[in-house]
Amino acid sequence: MNYDRPVEKNLRDFGALIVRTLCLYCIFIGTVSAQLKQHFPDFVEFQGSVLLSEKKGLPQEEYRLPLGTLKKTNGRIEPKKQQILQGQVHHLTYEIGRDHTPETVFNYYYAYFKAQKFSVLFECASLKCGSNSDWANKIFGQRELNGFDGSQHYVALRSPAGGAERYVALYFVQGGNKKNFIHLDLIVPADKTINDTDMFAPLLDKGFTWLPGIRFSDTGILDLQASQNDLNAVIVWLQKNPDRRIAVVGHTHPRPDVDAALVESKKAAEQLVDYITKQVNGVNLTAYSVGPLAPSGATKNQSFYVQWILLP
């Protein structure tokens, strides 16, 4: 440091030196994610990792956890099997230098969650995962993850029973520049307790409401297991309001086969009405359908969904 220079200049240079030193320190030990540390305080970042992207979703967000390889359904790329979760999602993407092998990088993260007793729900590697471009752009929405199909590795994990419920989607790929990239989605499910009054407030206020928590398969079959919490709230509300006349309207996402979609969405609505009428005596529900003729952006990720309309 030059003591003949003004004090202010020396202080600025000293401050810049500290910043550069801290940056080099972060690169050496790995960039620390505050979100990851919040849920896994003992996690140590991979040496030399750089956190390229860190995002946190809304407290109540739908996330489709891939539990199978990818396929094209009605023009959309999606997993052959998936688990629909509601909660807060943390998205993290790391870059790790080319001086580490893909196996070393992936196994470092994978071993941590295995040590935490997370169970494997699905795993694939290399070409068996499908197209890397689809994983990078359609599933994770991260162009940084574009790389070699043969290098990719994906695993879906669930936390052990008895503790805080958490899910992890872990995806690795090696880019064209031989650098390693790993993407981690941490899903923290929301409280499953659903207030029936809050659920149906829009119906009484506006005359209609969407119930996205009531799920159907891609072929229009009512998914009782995935929908159970919402169905229980529906039953409670209808028991309190047995005289309400309600149209249960089946919808599908945009499709070219309108006639078939109208028939299938009517069957989906009828399944729901049939299930509820067997649980609650005297309710006044009628099934209708509009198929793909009245799409809703709020439920764009579902092949089938229902709208509730209050009738006079």
Give strand pairing partners of 73: 76
d(CA 274, CA 143): 45
Q: Specify whether 177 is located in the same domain as 88.
A: yes
Cβ-based neighbour number of residue 46 at 10 Å = 20
| pLDDT attached to residue 71 | 85
Spatial contact of 230 and 213, defined as CB atoms under 8 Å apart: yes
Q: Specify whether 208 is located in the same domain as 140.
A: no
Q: Specify whether 59 is located in the same domain as 139.
A: yes
Pairing of strands 82-96, 50-56: antiparallel
| pLDDT attached to residue 19 | 41
Q: Specify whether 25 is located in the same domain as 41.
A: no
State which of 189, 208, 240 marks the end of a domain. Answer: 189
DSSP structure string for 188-209: EEPP----HHHHHHHHHHHSEE
Q: Specify whether 19 is located in the same domain as 140.
A: no
Per-residue pLDDT of the chain (312 residues), as tens digits, is 454 555 455 545 544 444 443 343 333 334 556 777 777 888 888 988 999 989 888 766 788 899 999 888 777 888 888 888 888 899 999 999 999 999 999 999 999 999 999 999 999 999 999 999 999 999 999 999 999 999 999 999 999 887 778 999 999 999 988 899 999 999 988 766 667 787 888 898 999 998 878 889 889 999 887 888 788 889 889 988 988 999 999 999 888 999 999 999 999 999 999 999 998 888 999 999 999 998 765 555 678 989 999 999
Q: Specify whether 51 is located in the same domain as 121.
A: yes
Q: Specify whether 157 is located in the same domain as 54.
A: yes
What Rg value do the Cα atoms of the chain yield, rounded?
25
Looking up residue 235, the CATH number of its domain turns out to be 3.30.1330.60
Cβ-based neighbour number of residue 233 at 10 Å = 21
State which of 158, 189, 220 marks the end of a domain. Answer: 189
Q: Specify whether 59 is located in the same domain as 160.
A: yes
Q: How many domains is the chain partitioned into structurally?
A: 3
Spatial contact of 294 and 251, defined as CB atoms under 8 Å apart: yes
- Phi/psi of residue 11, each to 5°? -65, -40
d(CA 305, CA 254): 12
d(CA 159, CA 155): 13
Structural domain harbouring 278? 196-311
Q: Specify whether 267 is located in the same domain as 133.
A: no
Q: Specify whether 171 is located in the same domain as 156.
A: yes
Q: Specify whether 38 is located in the same domain as 183.
A: yes
Q: Specify whether 112 is located in the same domain as 215.
A: no
Q: Cα 13–17–20 angle (5° rounding)?
A: 135
Report the sign of the C-alpha dihedral through residues 66, 68, 69, 75, in that order: negative
| pLDDT attached to residue 165 | 86
d(CA 219, CA 239): 30
Cβ-based neighbour number of residue 252 at 10 Å = 27
Terminal C-alpha separation, the chain: 83
DSSP character at residue 75: T
